[in-house]
Amino acid sequence: MRYVMKFGGTSVGNGDRIKQVAELVRSYYEQGNEIAVVVSAMSGLTDELQTIAERLTGEYAEVAEVSEFVDAIGKRHIDAAYAAIEDEMTVTEVISEVETRLEELKNALTGIYHLGELTDRSYDYISSFGERLSAPMISGALKSLKIQSVFLTGGEAGIITDSKHRGARPTEITERRVHERLVPLLKVGIVPVITGFIAYNIHNIITTLGRGGSDYTASIIGSAVDVDEIWIWTDVDGIMTADPKLVPNARTLPEISYVEAMEISYFGAKVIHPKTIEPAVTKGIPVRVKNTFNPDGASTLIVEAVTKDQSLVKAVTAIDNVALITLSGAGMAGTIGVAAHVFSTLANAGVNIIMISQGSSEANISFLVEEEHLSRALNALHELKREFDANIIKEISCDEDVSAIAVVGSRMAGTPGIAGRIFGCIGRINVSVIMISQGSTEHNVSFVLKRDSVRRAVENLHEEFSLAGSDSRKKRR
C-alpha cells in the first residue's frame, strides 16, 4: 500500500515525540508500505514566528530581540535533535542544517526590524521556518532507524502555487511535478519527509497555504502520487462529535462523509484544514484521522458514502476567530446591486466571508468574516460607502465579541424539526442568537452568538442530540 502520513505540531513537539513518530512510520514501513511523510512545525512555533515578525515592525522593538528569539528556538531544535537521533553522523548533519536555517532566519528578522515593514511575501518566508526546521529532524530520526529518507520543502516536492501569499493555491503543474519527484523515491523505498504548509510560486518564492495548511499539503501530495489512503496524525482520537477541549465527553466519529468533514472543518474543527478534502474527493481517496499518542485507539475514516453511522446530527462545532459586520441604511432597500457591490468589493480585498444574512426589509446586510480579515474588510467597505449615495449605506458596524456554531450532519437534509430542536435548546439555556444561516444543501445549521456563551451552547447541543459516548456522564449547566 502507498500512504501519505501527516504529523501535526504537537506530534513533533519535542525530541521524544519525534522519536515516537519515527518509530510509528517504521512500523508501517516494515510491513512493506511506501510512505511519504508530511510534517508541521513544532507546536506553537508558527505563532511565535509570526508574532516576533509583527513585533519587530513596531515602535518599541529592539534588535536584541532577534538573537534572543533565534537562540531560544535554536536550543529547542538542537535539544530535540539530540533526543530524537541516535546516529552521530546523522545528528551532526541535522544540526548543521538547523544552524544554516537559524542564520537565515536571523538575517531575515534583522532585515524586518531595520525596514520596519512586513509584506505578505516576507510574512510567508518567516512563517516557513517552522516546517523547514522540523522536516530535517524527522528525516534524521528515520535515518537513525536505518530507513532511507530525504527531506524536501513543499516547493522542492513539486507544489507550485499562485502568488496569493498567506493562502496560496496549487497550480495545475503541481500534480505532475509532485508525481515525477516523489514516486521514484517511494518506489525504491526512500521515505521523503516534506514540509507541510509551504510551497513555491513559479518564481521559486516561498508561499504558504494558510494556517493549518499542512493537512492540505498531505492531501495535495496524496492525490498526486495516488496513495491508497491519506493519514492525518494529530493529538486526539480522530474527528469527534465536538472539540474535546470544549466538550470533554465528545466521542470519535468512526466514519463520516467528505461533505460532512468539509462542513465540520469549515466551521471550526481545526483537526483538519477545510481544503484537505478537496484533492481527496477528486480521486476518491479515503482520509483517515488518527492519534499519534494513541495509535491503536479510535480513529475517523472519511469516505464518499457513509455506511456505518446513520445519525442525523454528527457534530457540533464552533469558531471563535470571527467578526460580524453589519451594513445598514434605509436606501439599501430596493436599490438593486448593493449586495453585489459589497461582496465583490470584499472579494477583491481578499476577505473570506463565512456567513451572510439579509433581512427581508433589505435595510441591512450582516455577514461574518474571519477576524484576521476584519480591518481589510472595514477599510474596503468605508471606501465603498463613500462611493455610494449617502443614504444607501448609512452605517457600518462590527462586533468582534462573537462566535459561530454549526450543527452538522448530511442526513439532516430533508428531515424536518432539526432547526426547531437546535433553537429550542438554545432558548432554554437563555442564549440569544444574533444571526442564523442554513446552507441550501441542509448539511448544516449555523448561527452566531456572543463568544462567552459558546461553551454552554456547544455542550447543551451536544447533549440535545445525544452525541456523547455511552460511558460518559451527562452534564448540563
Does residue 40 touch ligand ASP according to CB under 6 A?
yes
Closer CB to ligand ASP, 143 or 211, in the complex = 211
- State in angstroms the smallest separation of the CB of 8 from ligand ASP: 6
Partner whose binding site includes residue 245, from ligand ASP, Mg ion, ligand ADP, none (CB under 5 to 8 Å by kind) = ligand ADP
Q: How many CA atoms lie within 13 A of 443 on its CB side?
A: 14
- State in angstroms the smallest separation of the CB of 137 from ligand ADP: 16
Looking at residues 227 to 256 of the shown chain, list those that interact with ligand ADP (rule: CB under 6 A).
Answer: 234-236, 239-240, 242-245
Partner whose binding site includes residue 222, from ligand ASP, ligand ADP, Mg ion, none (CB under 5 to 8 Å by kind) = none
Does residue 9 touch ligand ASP according to CB under 6 A?
yes
Which amino acid is it at 24? L
Of 172, 289, 288, 162, nearest in space to 220 by CA: 172
- Pick the piece of the chain touching ligand ASP (CB under 6 A) from 40-48, 97-105, 332-340, 419-427: 40-48
Of 472, 427, 471, nearest in space to 453 by CA: 427
Partner whose binding site includes residue 240, from Mg ion, ligand ADP, ligand ASP, none (CB under 5 to 8 Å by kind) = ligand ADP
Bridge-based pairing state of the strands 287-291 and 229-234: parallel
Looking at residues 102 to 141 of the shown chain, list those that interact with ligand ASP (rule: CB under 6 A).
Answer: 130
Closer CB to Mg ion, 91 or 232, in the complex = 232
Partner whose binding site includes residue 315, from Mg ion, ligand ADP, ligand ASP, none (CB under 5 to 8 Å by kind) = ligand ADP
Residues listed for the chain: 477
Helix ranges, 38-154 (H): 45-56, 64-84, 88-115, 120-127, 129-144
Contact 462, 310 (CB under 8 A): no
* Cα–Cα distance measured from residue 10 to residue 265, given in angstroms and rounded to the nearest whole number: 19
Beta bridge partner(s), residue 231 = 5, 288
Does residue 12 touch ligand ADP according to CB under 6 A?
no
Does residue 460 touch ligand ADP according to CB under 6 A?
no
What CA–CA distances, in Å, run from 114 to 108, 110, 118, 124, 154? Answer: 10, 6, 11, 18, 29
Bridge-based pairing state of the strands 433-438 and 444-450: antiparallel
Does residue 241 touch ligand ASP according to CB under 6 A?
no
Residues that bind ligand ASP (CB under 6 A): 8-9, 40-41, 46, 130, 196-197, 211-214
